[in-house]
A and B are shown apart, each in its own frame.
Chain A
Amino acid sequence: MHNKTIAQLAKGLQAGDYSSQELTESYLGRIKQHQALNSFITVTEHQAIAASKQADAMLAAGDAPFLTGVPIAHKDIFCTQGVKTSCGSKMLDNFIAPYNATVVEKLNDAGVVSLGKLNMDEFAMGSSNETSFYGSVQNPWASNTVPGGSSGGSAAAVAARLIPGATGTDTGGSIRQPAALCGITGLKPTYGRVSRFGMIAYASSLDQGGPMTQTAEDAALMLQAMAGFDPKDSTSVDREVPDYTTNLNDSLVGLKIGLPKEFFDEALNSEMAAAIETAIKEYKKMGAEIVEVSMPNLKLAIPAYYVIAPAECSANLSRMDGVRYGYRCENPADLNDLYIRSRGEAFGTEVKRRILVGTYALSEGYYDAYYIKAQKIRRLISDDFNKALEQVDVIMGPVSPAPAFGIGEKTDDPIEMYLADIYTIAINLAGLPAMSIPAGFIDNKPVGLQIIGNYFDEAKLLNVAHQYQQVTGWHQQTPKGFE
């Protein structure tokens, strides 16, 4: 049962082949069985069983929404009412959110049953899930490697079939990179497509929530529930949400695929390059045309990102001050001591590093040289993509330069870790939608193919991804020990 997709499970539930409670208990059992993965921070067993019973009642009554009774889990960055929402940090280890994020609310309305909260890099800052206060997560494909990050718990749990789908968030690749490293499907929507309300902010102008699933079809089903204008988020876009399943089976004959030459330079692992080329060949067979495009400013994406994201996070994390909620140091001597020790004791190294970088970049005398300059670069990068997307329907390339690396392998070298995000970060700067889909293996480690589309072209991305999944079986592979 656990190898079934959301589409299959939803159909089975509607048909009465099994109950939501049976499903929920079965998945809860798997979560318990595979605790060693460390993919969950909180398992909400009682609430899940109660919700599944309610779902069963709705299913029995008929006219239940399509996802009714389908178990999922949320990245622990989404506020869930009455449930600990830690954001992977000691700072919020005691924080019980008093409200639901819009994404959580919308998925609840669509009928899902949440099984709990998934591990992640602290405040979504990391590419390996190793910055989590709750410890690193094992990649189900090789337990000594990282699952990627920051949505590492989401990716590992879906890959290990502990849940059929999960929510994730992506600020610089945090959905796509772990999806790639764990061999699942991940979609980062257009900035503004999914509400950020209740999603704990890392870098507000880049953050975007999205689905992480086995298949593109499942991603379409989840996105359908998650997307839409939210009056509580001024940056969400008031634009109609199309039916994401309608065009899944459209033919790709004549599809123009752009390959940015900068994506395939010497930085790319040669085996990775070969794997991506193999995937592209598959698209050619389906009738797609390949066009070389150029992103001359791509190399500036990482430096620009590591000014903008830390600048925003330095302000976003100021509210974690030990005054109203979250961690407070013991016996503060005075107000400054309260601030310094509460924040000093509760934030991890990577979070502190980014707060410091951001504070510096915004300081008087440096603002123009760093922040303003980075915003200009951001515009140049957007222009590169917009120009390319005038010539092609989608852009393709790798998600990460190499497959999953070893736990602890890069923790001493943050710069090297940052550089590994070169193929994903630029897309966040441009605000474009992008997906990662399973496209093969290198030494038994999954490889992800990235598909980038135009603004609000999620339906096209899903169509392109789904067609690939009709002719390949990479997405159906299950890691050893989790079959």
Chain B
Amino acid sequence: MQWETVIGLEIHTQLATKSKIFSGAATAYGAEPNTQACAVDLGLPGVLPVLNEDVVRMAVKFGMAIDAEVPPYSVFARKNYFYPDSPKGYQISQMDHPIVGIGHMDIEVDGVTKRIGVTRAHLEEDAGKSLHEDFHGLTGIDLNRSGTPLLEIVSEPDMRSAKEAIAYMRKIHELVQYLDISDGNMQEGSFRCDANVSIRPKGQEEYGTRTELKNINSFKFVEKAINIEVERQIEIIEAGGKITQETRLYDADKNETRAMRSKEEANDYRYFPDPDLLPVLISNELRAAVKADLPELPQAKRERFTSEYQLDLEAASNLSSSRHLADYFEALVKSSDCDAKICSNWVTGDLLGALNKLSLDITQSPISYQRLAGLLQRISDNTISGKIAKQVFEAMLSSESTADEIIESQGLKQITDSGAIEAIIDKIIADNPGQVEQYLSGKDKVFGFFVGQTMKASQGKANPGEVNKILKNKLKR
């Protein structure tokens, strides 16, 4: 039997606001437990939520960027359940009237473009954290995260492989950072994903019973979790069994999914409109303001990079994968006289390679675009060779100096003075009569020996073109 995988994703992305969604407390990550939780976040008796307007603006921005319907009116609802890190005994979320309606996101897998439907995106508050260690059989509650704004982005079950799911997730990840509405930091939990997975015989229209994989925090784990879950489902069905609709947890250490709770045990959340909050009205003024504020989106940027800078698609995709990277690249092109392709090669090759090794992202690059431009300038004006440039680049990584300062202090300036090169060559010819003999007798390969010796003697600083020219002259057969 041929099986088809059906995947839908629910992505929770933390919105990058300074304060929480319904209170004035700060959202910064990593503070001492319960130091960033005010009376509202603690759910004290009598407190009331007040909506942070930035959150609305960010959600609308997202909606516009995925070409979604942004209804004029949306409603917050209470989702009721008891848990110690949910201080009110309900979570303020959205149910019937989400802030963002139907939209879509295009993905590319193996050179094929596919449109993935986005069902909705709604706003909600995050819960706190339960800390089970260090309390001798008790549980500690940290409510710093309580009330952090989340945008939950729900896709249609349009993906047919883990690969497509990853591609979609990456596109959303890229987009929220582009829009400056989330830092997308997966380690800190700013970007999390639940996957709804089912299988069906190829060709069947009806969906199979799905399981929900909870809280998967990296691209790698999403792929693994989906694949392992699909395998599990195929095994069960092929053995004549049935899939139970349930929530499952992915265990990365054991690479397996485990049942958390079945549909029967699932909570009845008893959603109803939160009477403490008025419906959110999206005015035309807000729409216009958000629209004006929309940055160039990744797709458009990619296309512009191929046409404006004549980059190949891979380089253009690579550079436009992050808004900061793209900005770095364009700033570099503008401030150096170098060809855009050379700039692109340096950024996607040497710079990203180095940053990768240092586990830094482009915003933390030790080499600013101005310094890198200074280096590229010296290649294009022949002050140094491409090879020396790599050496200078390495030195720049660990110092604050400009390329010129490094070239100067390390004496790396290219020797273009033909007199100086001639002197070196004369000495090499004199020292190696045997090789001269061989070359003159017709062994062309020996020419390379002389080039190598000359470069070595000049510590790589001799202009290679000049070296070739003089050698050809001196060793005339």
Interface residues, chain A, with chain B CB atoms under 8 Å away:
78-79, 85, 87, 92, 95, 97-99, 101, 196-201, 203-205, 231-235, 311-312, 314-315, 317-321, 323-325, 335, 339, 359, 362-364, 367, 371
Number of B interface residues in the complex (CB < 8 A): 29
Interface residues, chain B, with chain A CB atoms under 8 Å away:
39, 42-51, 78, 80, 82, 84, 87-90, 139, 141, 268, 270-272, 275-278
Contact of A318 among B51, B84, B88 (CB under 8 A): B88
Given contacts A234-B277, A362-B270, 7 further A-B contacts (CB under 8 A): A78-B46, A231-B50, A235-B48, A318-B80, A319-B43, A319-B88, A323-B87
Q: Which residue of B lies closest to A322 (CB)?
A: B84
**Interface SS of B by simple majority:** loop
Contact B89 A197 (CB under 8 A): no
Contact B278 A200 (CB under 8 A): no
In angstroms, Cα B141 to Cα A312, docked, is: 26
In angstroms, Cα B42 to Cα A321, docked, is: 12
In angstroms, Cα B80 to Cα A9, docked, is: 48
In angstroms, Cα B268 to Cα A364, docked, is: 7
Q: Which residue of A lies closest to B34 (CB)?
A: A324
Contact A235 B276 (CB under 8 A): yes
Known: A98-B39, A196-B48. A362 touches B87 (CB 8 A): no
Taking CB atoms, residues of chain A closer than 8 Å to B78 are 315
Known: A315-B90, A362-B80, A362-B270. A235 touches B275 (CB 8 A): yes
Distance to closest chain A CB from B31 (angstroms)? 18
Which of A87, A95, A314, A359 is packed against the most chain B CB atoms within 10 Å? A314
Q: Which residue of A lies closest to B267 (CB)?
A: A364
Which of A204, A321, A367 is packed against the most chain B CB atoms within 10 Å? A321
Distance to closest chain A CB from B392 (angstroms)? 57
Which are the 4 A-B pairs with shortest beta-carbon distances?
A318-B89, A205-B275, A362-B270, A204-B275
Contact of B46 among A198, A205, A323 (CB under 8 A): A198
Taking CB atoms, residues of chain B closer than 8 Å to A232 are 48, 50
Contact A233 B44 (CB under 8 A): no
Contact A319 B46 (CB under 8 A): no
Contacts across chains A and B counted by CB atoms under 8 Å: 101
Q: Which residue of A lies closest to B89 (CB)?
A: A318
Contact B48 A234 (CB under 8 A): yes
Contact B47 A197 (CB under 8 A): yes
Contact A324 B42 (CB under 8 A): yes
In angstroms, Cα B277 to Cα A284, docked, is: 43
Taking CB atoms, residues of chain B closer than 8 Å to A201 are 45-46, 276
Contact B45 A319 (CB under 8 A): yes
Contact A233 B45 (CB under 8 A): no
Residue contacts A-B, CB under 8 angstroms, 14 given: A92-B45, A198-B46, A198-B47, A231-B50, A234-B276, A235-B277, A318-B89, A318-B90, A319-B87, A319-B88, A323-B84, A323-B87, A339-B82, A364-B270
Contact of B45 among A200, A203, A234, A371 (CB under 8 A): A200
Contact B46 A197 (CB under 8 A): yes
Taking CB atoms, residues of chain A closer than 8 Å to B43 are 319, 324
Distance to closest chain A CB from B52 (angstroms)? 11
Taking CB atoms, residues of chain B closer than 8 Å to A315 are 78, 80, 88-90, 270, 272
Contact B276 A324 (CB under 8 A): no
Distance to closest chain A CB from B50 (angstroms)? 5
Taking CB atoms, residues of chain A closer than 8 Å to B82 are 318, 321, 339
Which of B42, B44, B88, B268 is packed against the most chain A CB atoms within 10 Å? B44
